Amino acid sequence: MPEMNVCVAAVVDRHYQKYIPMFVYFCRVSYPSYGIRIFLTDTLNPTYRAICDDLAREGDVKYIENMFRGYPKFNQELKSLRWLVGPAHFQGFDYIYMGDIDILICKEDLPLHLQHITHSSKYNIPYSNSVRPNSERLSGLHFIIKEKYFQSTLSVIKKHATLLKGRKLGAVKNENLLYNIIRESGLALPSGWFRPHHGIHLGIWRKQNVRISEEKWNTMGRNEYVKYYKYFLSVAANEQYKKVYAAAPLKEITRMRTHLSAELLSADGNA
């Protein structure tokens, strides 16, 4: 199955643009034949323009600026925009992974797209996601089989886009909105829990002095994070990584390295 039919995408507001260079870099290193689409609610900050342009020259990377003009931009509305991006922006792709911009996607033994295609096939549905326990919410990491998914959902997506733009959607949270889109489209919901991060979620270390509970490790996958961190270290040794980090330094990476070196690699016997 050709990887180049896969697109990794994210919707980014001006406050999260600092994550774009590292996100794109890790996608490119981990899965060089994947396409990347970054949808910005504003123009790209000049601080990141040069490094983003450099990364775009190395593969199928596009930054779509000034998306969703006229839409409300409070926290949950902003997060909801990612579920409203239509198929016209994904010409030439068969599969789309809508992820978080603050996750460093790492190469895995079984590639990201194959994991999700297998999961979607298990339930005979054109997407891969999970319902959060005891809720009417899907998770914020969403993989779709483009043609079949939009055949079922596009009219519902357009309806909710109109409601959101007209500020008539109410106080629904973004993961509830995705759940509602799936339900209203008549698609089935999967059972069980399948929500791999496929890499290191930097948002965990946005605040200082973070401690990860055993319960959270069990949800996130401690063993997987050991593998992700080892992969991160191999990538971070590259000269291009250093160039990207110099152009867009992230405090979260410093905190993550301190935390994972101490707690994961030492436990794994490799510190």
Per-residue pLDDT tens listing for the chain (271 residues):
445 599 999 999 999 999 999 999 999 999 999 999 999 999 999 999 999 999 999 889 999 999 999 988 788 888 999 999 999 999 999 999 999 999 999 999 999 999 999 999 999 999 999 999 999 999 999 999 999 999 999 999 999 999 999 888 877 799 999 999 999 999 999 998 899 999 999 999 998 777 788 888 887 888 889 899 999 999 999 999 999 999 999 999 999 998 888 766 555 554 4
Q: Give pLDDT, residue 141.
A: 96
Handedness of CA 113, 114, 117, 123 (dihedral sign): negative
Q: Give pLDDT, residue 167.
A: 84
Q: Give pLDDT, residue 256.
A: 92
Single pTM value for the model:
0.93
Q: In whole angstroms, how far apart are CA 167 and each of 49, 156, 159, 205, 206?
A: 32, 16, 12, 33, 30
Phi and psi, residue 104, nearest 5°: -85, 100
> Considering the domain 1-271 in this protein, what is its CATH number?
3.90.550
Classify residue 212 by burial, with Cβ atoms within 10 Å: 0-12, 13-18, 19+: middle
